[in-house]
Amino acid sequence: MREGDCNFGDQNGHVPFDFEYGSVAGNEAMHGLYGAMDEDARKRRKMYQNAAKIPPLLSNQSYSGNGALLVLFMVIVGIYYGFSALFSFTEDWREYSHPYKFIALLYYGLVGLPISEFGRIWSYVIHELFKGYSLLSVIVALTIEDLYLLALLMAFAVLVKAFGRLRIPLLSLLAPAAFTLTWFLGARYL
């Protein structure tokens, strides 16, 4: 057997002392590698079997990608229901009595009106601006909707930066809602 024909050795093909192919030391070294791989495979197999027996919510193991997607989906659904409840509350701001009217108007101006404009922009572009051009109107409407979303995000960034410069916490936007809740509970139970 030539030196270059071996499976292990340094870059020049030289085999270390006593590790030639077929030697006792070489065979034991290879068996040790295969045995270690078998031991790792046994450990992984046992870990997977044990993980199948334990419910994932009670185990100490990290969640898989599907769990993260489920949590993300639940957060998106929660945000949707929160905004829809806020929008349905603030949409009829004219009908409330004082002080509810002013607070509903504030949140309608901050959240409800910008969100409702998406539908108005879409219907105007599709039905009024490009009446006979169905594909072109959808492309233009999507482009305008994206630009409007970008403008809203930039306005929100400016609001966050202004609040940061004035050292006012952003959660202070929830102060009128807390005041309304306190007023409502006080009027109802006192």
Higher pLDDT, 186 or 24: 186
* Residue 174 pLDDT level (bands cut at 50, 70, 90): confident
Interval 51-85: pLDDT, tens: 655 555 545 555 556 777 888 889 999 888 887 88
Residue 115, pLDDT above cutoff 90: no
Local structure of 164: helix, strand or coil: helix
pTM: 0.50
Query: According to the model, what pLDDT value does residue 99 have?
Result: 80
Query: According to the model, what pLDDT value does residue 129 have?
Result: 80
Q: Which residue has the tokens 């109802």?
A: 188
Q: How open is the CA angle 45-50-52, to the nearest 5 degrees?
A: 95
CB contact at 8 A, 57 and 41: no
Crossing angle of helices 65-91 and 100-107, rounded to 10°: 130
HSE, CB side, 13 Å, CA atoms: give it for residue 181: 5
